[in-house]
Amino acid sequence: MDGKAVAETLEGMAASLSALAAFAGRVAGSAAPSPNPLRDEADACLDGMAEAGSMEAMLAAVKVHFAAGYAAAAAALAAPVVSPQERTARDMAVTAEVACVLTVSERSAAALLDEAVTLTTRLPLTLSALRAGGISWQHARVMCDETSGLDPVAAAALEGHFLDPEAPFAARGCPAGELVPGRFRTKARSWRERHHPVSIEARHSKGVEDRRLDYAPDRDGMAWLSAYVSADVAAGVWARATEAARALQGPAESRTLTQLRADVAADWLIAGVTEGVPSPKAQVLVTVPVFSLLGAGTEPATLDGYGPVPPGMARRLVADGAGSFLRVLTDPRSGAPLEIGRSSYRVPKAMRQWLRLRDGRCPFPGCTNHSLDNEADHLLAWSDGGGTGITNLGQPCRKHHRLKHTTAWRPIGATRDQPPAWISPAGRSYPSEQQDWEPPHWPDAQTAAHGPADHDGHTSEDPGWEPEREPPDWPDVTDHAVGPADHDGHTGEDPGPGETGPPLPVDPFPEWALFTAA
């Protein structure tokens, strides 16, 4: 960021200060009289917080400019280094200076200097978005973390996917700045896994060699016990422990779901499956690109609640008939899910599993509660005429389920492919994070032989052709049932008033088992 860019950023901050002053005036009551002064004050406070957040991002960009500038100036002023030891000593001196001037630890100062150099030399789109207040400093740090270790081309591709709307197959759903930093990190890491220049199979093989069990003492007579294992094992253990914990819940059980999950896992580890501790079958969704399932592609599969996993792992889970893992096939054009494994397609849990696919987690903005822990819920209550269809269902976690029924917060606008947005008591709309389904990469041989024509009549053999991302036309079939009863006491087997709803799609590859057998 040069001097001109800093000046432009400072001008933007001046405009933000003026806006903040206006909001402060509305809060103090010095603005024009309002018919609803309390509502106006509340709105002014919300607008002021949003403006202050944007200004913090701009200020962080200015800080980055000065940190990178000082590091460059210090290097130019110092005598040329002739050994690694001298370079280390010089870097320590620069870090110590920044730590003292900012009154932070040297570790924090070193991180700031590293991130400042990364942003000013490798991530121009991220720095530009920070300067404009479109993303926060936490978002910028996530981008620095997730591009570390990537070559410049791969780093630019990851950055462009999330911050350049003109990039090929740019991220859909919520913009990066509208995701909480933790969710943005998850999405960025998932994209990095799918597009890393080193095969995910190779990286997974190295990870398997490093598997281990860790024990770390903590305060207050507590300790952490953690296992570094393959994703399918971890997902199966987590799902099984969650279902076992749920089975123990009841009016006489005072422990929370979190406490029960820890207790049943400890019982299994210490004494095996003891009497009174249920051992249900876990249900974990595995979303597999069709070409990866056939062994013709190398794209990662997706493990529900985890993210990208090696296609070889997915093929093994499906081919071995692992009963705890439900295979989900994706559209070879758009990457969107098409069908849930036939073993559960026409059973009461099919619609609930489709909700898990659609939402991935609690649909409240920023919530990370995994879908396995959430509850099926009518957006428009059954008693008010709401039917049991995908477009009238959400799966909020218990906290946000309670928020919906005890406050004026309300979810609206769900579709078969998108979770509901939420309207706040202040009347503001907050979008829910959407799944960023990515069109698969067609293998060369498959593309030449089977690539579909697009709406303009072009095929995969035409120069520059790419499979379209439009969703397929679903067959006209009826909705099926939600498994557990929702808060109204109804299940998906209850017919709604005139309810037909958008259909769950029919499996376009009903003989998929033959492919895996081959």
pLDDT tens string, the chain, 518 residues long: the values are 577 788 888 888 888 888 888 888 877 776 677 778 888 888 889 999 999 999 999 999 999 999 999 999 999 998 888 888 888 999 999 999 999 999 999 999 999 999 999 999 999 999 999 999 999 999 999 999 999 989 999 999 999 999 998 887 788 767 889 899 998 998 899 888 888 888 888 888 888 999 999 999 999 899 999 999 998 888 888 888 888 898 899 999 999 999 999 999 998 888 775 555 554 455 667 777 767 777 777 778 877 767 788 888 877 776 665 556 666 666 666 666 655 543 433 334 566 777 777 787 888 888 877 755 667 788 887 677 776 667 788 888 888 888 998 999 999 988 877 889 999 988 889 888 877 766 666 666 544 444 444 434 444 444 443 444 344 343 333 333 333 344 444 443 333 333 344 455 454 455 544 544 44
Question: Is residue 473 classed exposed, middle or buried when 0-12, 13-18 and 19+ CB atoms within 10 A define those classes?
Answer: exposed
**If residue 201 lies in a helix (H) or strand (E), which one and from where to where?**
helix 200-209
Phi, psi of 46 (to 5 degrees): -65, -45
Residue 210 has phi, psi (to 5 degrees) of -95, 10
Q: What is the pTM of this model?
A: 0.65
| Distance between CA atoms of residues 183 and 366, nearest Å | 7
Q: What is 335-398 written as a DSSP string? A: --EEEE-HHHHTSTTHHHHHHHHHHSB--STT---BGGG---EESS-GGGT--SSGGGEE---H
Place of tokens 């860790």: 214
